[in-house]
Chain A
């Protein structure tokens, strides 16, 4: 069974631009969560989507948004990029329960560099 895939793996953008990251969960998994990892702040939870609806949300500004499609694939968008948005963005999937109650399966991440 294929694992969680994330595209692209690496991305370079400049301040003020926007970026869209993609995550395809394990087949049959309907919950997708997103995380940001930086050296300064560590790993932080962004949000979780289930059945095309945002079910849980961390403490991030509105510049960070996401969506989920009917096939459970999810995208994350960051608008008006700032230097501090440079990070490794991870997504994870679970069957239905989400990151709060089920074992998560993580993708390899997308490394974003904002110049």
Chain B
């Protein structure tokens, strides 16, 4: 069974710092990988979707990379802002079209 792990579980950084969130998965036979953010009381927001044939995707200050062979993805956030504070989740699509979510990284950006 696919297992998705996110490290660290929690992260606090001062405003303006660049940071990297990590996601690892056990089975490299994935179709794609997605990153989400979850805000308390505001639900889930899709951030980036990387197809299995792609190496990275960028959206504004966010850049996500995918290395299928090593079973890893990273989400890079540039020039962090307090509004970036949220829980970040990655999910891989594998098996019989099932989505497997990671445990999440709770990010706090300190003004």
A90: nearest residue on chain B (CB-CB)? Answer: B44
| Chain A contacts for B26, CB-based, 8 A | none
The answer, among A43, A45, A55, A92, for a CB contact under 8 Å with B98, is: A45
Distance between Cα atoms of A57 and B98 in the complex (Å): 7
Residues of A within 8 A of B89 (CB): 43
Chain B residues with a Cβ closer than 8 Å to the other chain, count: 22
- Identify 29 residue pairs between A and B in the complex whose beta-carbon atoms are under 8 Å apart, listed by A's number: A42-B102, A43-B44, A44-B101, A45-B98, A45-B99, A45-B100, A55-B97, A56-B96, A56-B98, A57-B96, A57-B98, A58-B99, A90-B44, A92-B44, A99-B93, A100-B31, A100-B97, A100-B99, A101-B31, A101-B32, A101-B49, A101-B51, A103-B49, A104-B44, A106-B43, A106-B44, A108-B41, A108-B42, A108-B43
Q: Which B9-43 residues have a C-beta within 8 angstroms of A?
A: 31-32, 41-43
Contact between B45 and A106, CB atoms less than 8 A apart: yes
